[in-house]
A and B are shown apart, each in its own frame.
Chain A
Amino acid sequence: MATQRRILFHWLFLLVAALIPVVELALPGRLHFGDLLRPIFIMAMLGLGLNILTGFTGLLNLGVAAFMAVGAYSYAILTCDIYPFRLGFWPATLVTVLVGLTVGLLLGLPTIRLRGDYLAIVTLGFGEIVEDVLKNLDSITKGTQGINPLPSPSVFGYRFRPETYQPWYYLFLGILALLVLLNRNLHRSRIGRAWISIREDELASSCMGINPMKMKLLAFALGAAQCSLAGALWASYLGSSGEPGNYDFQVSIIAVCIVIVGGMGNVGGVLLGALVIMGFNSIVLETVTNFLKAHQLISSSNVFTSPGNWKYMLYGLALILMMRFRPEGLLPSKQLKAELHPPEPNVPPPAS
């Protein structure tokens, strides 16, 4: 059975991901592969949130970094001991998700009737506004310094330490797996079907009795909640809310790239997109830079020779090549693939 094979494949994938830190210990040398995977997990969560909005429902959102910032800052305010809340990891995360949900609804309510480019512009503006508010609301957000230090989370009585990455790795992997499960379940239910029908043809879908406003608001709330969850985990990982500039337009664009490169509207595709885009950033570029430095092929004084400085050029090139050769993404949903590669018309077999 094809479905059984697919389920087996998913479990295998999870098993491999779970074994990476263990195998790494056994290997000689100091590999930090599992360590480097942590930001990838977080960006994958961000991508999943955006995927609900852009991939399923077809609402182009260029401001997901703002949701992430809202998550990171509310988590920081709730846990940091310079504020009176001082919640633990789980309650703070839960409240953060609820805050993200509310912010998503608040942004969704007035903008719900906008479509396409207009919505993209509004969300772009929202991203800028949130960044500026965080910069200027000095007494609450500590302006450009960000809120720090945050206490390390303790989960089920175990206190995390910044030096050992393995517990973090498993925490993020577990949450990511839960999110993937949630997104997949929604995608294959009447809710996902309604979202996709709105992406395809909003008018026809409303003539079928779907309330597009309700479904779009749901997408907004859920997408924002997932993005702010990513933000909360990011803050706990950094031990700081980060500064407002960390959540600028570039982060939103990277999230959009993850969704597009991976394959819009496909949960597995988003994971692959995060792995490719972020992996390229933190693993490939890093390794190449270290290699070149070790062999003294580049000097740090010359900005042009450092591969890290070519990052966005390379992203751009990758996007152009993607659009030319594989516009549906690396791992497309079968619907989009069909849209972008129409099958050959059936040629009747010649009469013999």
Chain B
Amino acid sequence: MNILEISDLTVRFGGLTAVNAVSLDVSEKQIVSVIGPNGAGKTTLFNAITGLHEPTAGRICFNGTEACRPFGLATAMMLILIGLIAALSALLVVNVEPLWDTAITANYVYQQPFSWVKAARAASHYFAEQPGRRFIVPFLIGALTGLAGAYAIWSRTRRAPEVAARAGIARTFQNIRLFNQMTALDNVLLGMDSRLHTRFWHAALRLSLYWREREESRQQAMEILRFVNLLEDAHQLAENLSYGHQRRLEIARALAMQPRLLLLDEPAAGMNPAEAQDLMKLIHDIRNRGITVLLIEHHMPVVMGISDRIAVLDHGEKIAEGSPNEVRGDPRVIEAYLGKEHGDIPTA
């Protein structure tokens, strides 16, 4: 079964087409690598999958559906509520002072009891007597601005990274993006965040759920740190870890999300051969836990050693796809990496 289906994905930045009509299927519990020269569009592909870039065209289906917020009843209610708040604010801004005068000041005698019914009646009288421009116009303008603004923001953040993350896609970054001033443990706990149930009041009042979940999540985080072999660095700040450890911590943080698909963006960059060997073993172990891995890598021994399938990108287009052996012998791949020989112009 395909866990990720990318069909005819195009991502354009102004005039630059970073990814051009790329289709890629990733089956469950496989390790699939994306390779290609620098600037081929690999990271843009990742960013589109994780919701950082909006696709210009094409579809990205994860688990059979596109990872974006559905337009449900709750969304509609929220939009209407925001529109209503904006409308009432606009109405108040225009009318607040005369309204206060007629409803409150006129009805209140110093230190005498005050009748709210009378005040409400005066207020409704006030609105009944007003011409439309003081009542309907600000209300409409407020409602429209509120609705349109809320809808614009909502639709722009439909395909936000957190939506993809909550659907089960985790990723690491090419240039490591850990939370440097948090400990390794806290980094992993943050990755776990979307699975926690503690709410504001639990945390504020330290109800029993807070303590229970704190203990459980710490244990799980320690378990994950042991899996990537960082247990003794748990209480170190992330920025004080060595480069290789930071890479592994980033993987640990992604694993804490319990993803179904893990995107690794050049995890072996800057590693020596021994570290790369360890990494290969780690990626294997991750796959054996039932997590599908999509990998960008330049380190060919790693790519050829662990991939089930390889896709090759060049200038934003997919030029080859297949098993490591098929890709290795593909003339177009060799051409993309090494260039063409002079005089060897293909006769089409």
**Which residues of A does B touch, CB under 8 Å?**
81-84, 106, 109-110, 113, 137-140, 182, 185-186, 189-194, 196-197, 200-201, 203-213, 218, 335-336, 338-339, 342-343
In this complex, the interface size class of chain B, counting residues with CB under 8 Å from chain A, is: 35 or more
User: Cβ of B171 and Cβ of A207 under 8 Å apart?
Assistant: yes
In the complex, which residue of chain A has the Cβ closest to the Cβ of B97? A139
User: Which secondary structure dominates chain A's binding surface?
Assistant: helix
The answer, among B171, B178, B200, B205, for a CB contact under 8 Å with A218, is B200
- Report the minimal beta-carbon distance from A150 to chain B, rounded to whole angstroms: 14
The answer, among B96, B149, B177, for a CB contact under 8 Å with A203, is B177
**Most A C-beta atoms less than 10 A away, residue of B101, B180, B193, B206:** B193
Q: List residues of chain B with CB within 8 A of the CB of A140.
A: 96-97, 100
User: Cβ of B196 and Cβ of A190 under 8 Å apart?
Assistant: yes
User: Cβ of B189 and Cβ of A190 under 8 Å apart?
Assistant: yes
The answer, among A200, A208, A339, for a CB contact under 8 Å with B165, is A208
User: Cβ of A209 and Cβ of B257 under 8 Å apart?
Assistant: yes
User: Cβ of B206 and Cβ of A185 under 8 Å apart?
Assistant: yes
List CB contacts (< 8 Å) of B167-208 with chain A. 170-171, 173, 177-182, 186, 189-191, 193-194, 196, 198, 200, 202-206
19 additional A-B pairs beyond A209-B166, A339-B180, beta carbons within 8 Å, are: A81-B110, A84-B104, A140-B100, A186-B200, A186-B203, A189-B203, A193-B189, A194-B193, A196-B182, A197-B179, A200-B181, A203-B177, A205-B190, A206-B165, A207-B50, A207-B165, A209-B194, A336-B181, A338-B239
Q: Does B337 contact A (CB under 8 A)?
A: no
Q: Does B253 contact A (CB under 8 A)?
A: yes
> Measured between alpha carbons, how far is A211 from B157 in the docked complex, in Å?
10
User: Cβ of A206 and Cβ of B82 under 8 Å apart?
Assistant: no
Q: List residues of chain B with CB within 8 A of the CB of A113.
A: 153
User: Cβ of A211 and Cβ of B162 under 8 Å apart?
Assistant: yes
- Report the minimal beta-carbon distance from A189 to chain B, rounded to whole angstroms: 3
Q: List residues of chain B with CB within 8 A of the CB of A335.
A: 181-182, 237
**Which residues of B does A touch, CB under 8 Å?**
50, 52, 82, 85, 89, 96-97, 100-101, 104-105, 107-108, 110-111, 114, 119, 149, 153, 157, 160-162, 164-166, 170-171, 173, 177-182, 186, 189-191, 193-194, 196, 198, 200, 202-206, 210, 214, 237, 239-240, 253, 257
User: Cβ of B161 and Cβ of A203 under 8 Å apart?
Assistant: yes
The answer, among B186, B239, B253, for a CB contact under 8 Å with A193, is B186
Q: List residues of chain A with CB within 8 A of the CB of B179.
A: 196-197, 200-201, 204-205
User: Cβ of A338 and Cβ of B237 under 8 Å apart?
Assistant: yes
Q: Which 6 A-B pairs have the closest CB atoms?
A: A209-B194, A189-B203, A84-B114, A335-B181, A209-B165, A204-B177
> Measured between alpha carbons, how far is A212 from B190 in the docked complex, in Å?
13
> Measured between alpha carbons, how far is A205 from B194 in the docked complex, in Å?
11
> Measured between alpha carbons, how far is A170 from B304 in the docked complex, in Å?
71
Return 26 A-B CB contacts under 8 Å, by A number: A84-B107, A113-B153, A138-B97, A139-B100, A140-B96, A185-B204, A186-B200, A186-B203, A189-B202, A189-B210, A190-B193, A190-B196, A193-B186, A197-B182, A200-B179, A200-B180, A203-B52, A204-B178, A204-B179, A206-B165, A207-B50, A207-B161, A209-B193, A211-B160, A212-B162, A343-B240
> Measured between alpha carbons, how far is A204 from B104 in the docked complex, in Å?
51
> Measured between alpha carbons, how far is A211 from B52 in the docked complex, in Å?
13
**Most A C-beta atoms less than 10 A away, residue of B104, B110, B257:** B104
Q: List residues of chain A with CB within 8 A of the CB of B157.
A: 213
With contacts A81-B111, A110-B149, A209-B162 known, is A204 near B173, CB below 8 A?
Answer: yes
User: Cβ of B177 and Cβ of A210 under 8 Å apart?
Assistant: no
In the complex, which residue of chain B has the Cβ closest to the Cβ of A102? B85
- Report the minimal beta-carbon distance from B97 to chain A, rounded to whole angstroms: 6
> Measured between alpha carbons, how far is A201 from B181 in the docked complex, in Å?
10
User: Cβ of B180 and Cβ of A189 under 8 Å apart?
Assistant: no
The answer, among B50, B177, B203, B206, for a CB contact under 8 Å with A190, is B203
Q: List residues of chain B with CB within 8 A of the CB of A209.
A: 162, 165-166, 193-194, 257
**Most B C-beta atoms less than 10 A away, residue of A82, A109, A204:** A204
In the complex, which residue of chain B has the Cβ closest to the Cβ of A196? B182
User: Cβ of B190 and Cβ of A208 under 8 Å apart?
Assistant: yes
The answer, among B82, B114, B193, B253, for a CB contact under 8 Å with A109, is B82
User: Cβ of A139 and Cβ of B203 under 8 Å apart?
Assistant: no
In the complex, which residue of chain B has the Cβ closest to the Cβ of A137? B97
- Report the minimal beta-carbon distance from B322 to chain A, rounded to whole angstroms: 30
With contacts A185-B205, A190-B189, A191-B203 known, is A206 near B181, CB below 8 A?
Answer: no
Q: List residues of chain B with CB within 8 A of the CB of A204.
A: 173, 177-179
> Measured between alpha carbons, how far is A212 from B97 in the docked complex, in Å?
37
> Measured between alpha carbons, how far is A339 from B179 in the docked complex, in Å?
11
Q: List residues of chain A with CB within 8 A of the CB of B108.
A: 83-84
- Report the minimal beta-carbon distance from B33 to chain A, rounded to whole angstroms: 21
Q: List residues of chain B with CB within 8 A of the CB of A211.
A: 160, 162
**Most A C-beta atoms less than 10 A away, residue of B153, B157, B179, B198:** B179
Q: List residues of chain A with CB within 8 A of the CB of B190.
A: 193-194, 197, 205, 208, 210
- Report the minimal beta-carbon distance from A94 to chain B, rounded to whole angstroms: 16
Q: List residues of chain B with CB within 8 A of the CB of A137.
A: 96-97
The answer, among B52, B104, B162, for a CB contact under 8 Å with A210, is B162
- Report the minimal beta-carbon distance from B192 to chain A, rounded to whole angstroms: 9
**Most B C-beta atoms less than 10 A away, residue of A84, A191, A339:** A84
Q: List residues of chain A with CB within 8 A of the CB of B180.
A: 200, 339
- Report the minimal beta-carbon distance from B52 to chain A, rounded to whole angstroms: 7
- Report the minimal beta-carbon distance from A330 to chain B, rounded to whole angstroms: 18
